[in-house]
Amino acid sequence: MTNKSIYYLIPNEAGTAFSGSGYTPDGTVPDTAIPCTQDQAQNFQDYVPDMTTTPPSVVDAPMSVLLAKAQTAKIASLRRDYESAILAPVSYKTAAGTTALFATTPEAIGYLQGVIDAGSAAWTANLWLSNAGTPITPFTFADVQGLAAAIEAIDTPEYHELLKLIGEVMAATTVSAVYGVTWA
C-alpha cells in the first residue's frame, strides 16, 4: 500500500502569496491548493505560488519578500528587547534590610520623583510596593532616595538607540545584514 499523504499550500485570492497550509493523509487536496513538501507547508511565508505553470507550483519567495519578513521580525525583536530592558525591575535593599524588586515603569518613576520633589516632610506613607505588589515597610524617605538612585544607576538602552538600530535594519539590503544588527 502506498502512502498518499500530501502537504499543500493555499494561495490567497490574488494568487500572489500563500494564506495557509494543510495536510491530507488520504491524498485529497482542495481544488485551489498546490501540493508541496512538508518544509514548504511549515514555512509557507518563505514561498509564493507560480501561477504561470500548469498546474501552479510553489517557488521560493523573491528576496524582497524575504528581506521584508526578516526586517519585520528583527524590528519586533529589537522592540521587545528594549521594552524588557527599560521595564526590568530593580533590586533594592531598604535601610531596614528588606531586599525586594521594585517597578521601573514610567508611572513608578514619575511618582518616585514627585515624592522626592515634595521633600521628606511630605513623605508620610512609610511604605512602597514591590514589583509583585507586596507592601514594603518601613520605607523611609532615605529609602525613596536610595530607590531613585538605584533606578538611575540602571544601564538601560536609550530610545534613540532603538531608533538607530531600527534604521539600520530598514537600510539593510540582505537578510544576513538584518540579523547582523544587534544591541552593542
Q: Tens digit of pLDDT for each residue in 97-114?
A: 999 999 999 999 999 999
The single-letter code of the amino acid at 177 is A
Residue keyed to cell 536609550: 158
Residue 45 has a pLDDT of: 85
Confidence label for 27 from pLDDT (cuts 50, 70 and 90): confident
Residue 1 has a pLDDT of: 47
Residues 23 and 103 grouped into a single domain:
no
In-domain check, residue 1? no
- What are the φ and ψ backbone dihedral angles of 162, each rounded to 5 degrees? -60, -45
Residue 103 is part of which domain span?
A: 89-153
In terms of pTM, does the model score above 0.75?
Answer: no
Asked if 21 and 7 count as a contact pair (C-beta separation under 8 A), the reply is yes
In-domain check, residue 184? no
Residues 23 and 36 grouped into a single domain:
yes
Residue 28 has a pLDDT of: 86
Q: Tens digit of pLDDT for each residue in 99-154?
A: 999 999 999 999 999 999 999 999 999 999 999 999 999 999 999 999 999 999 99
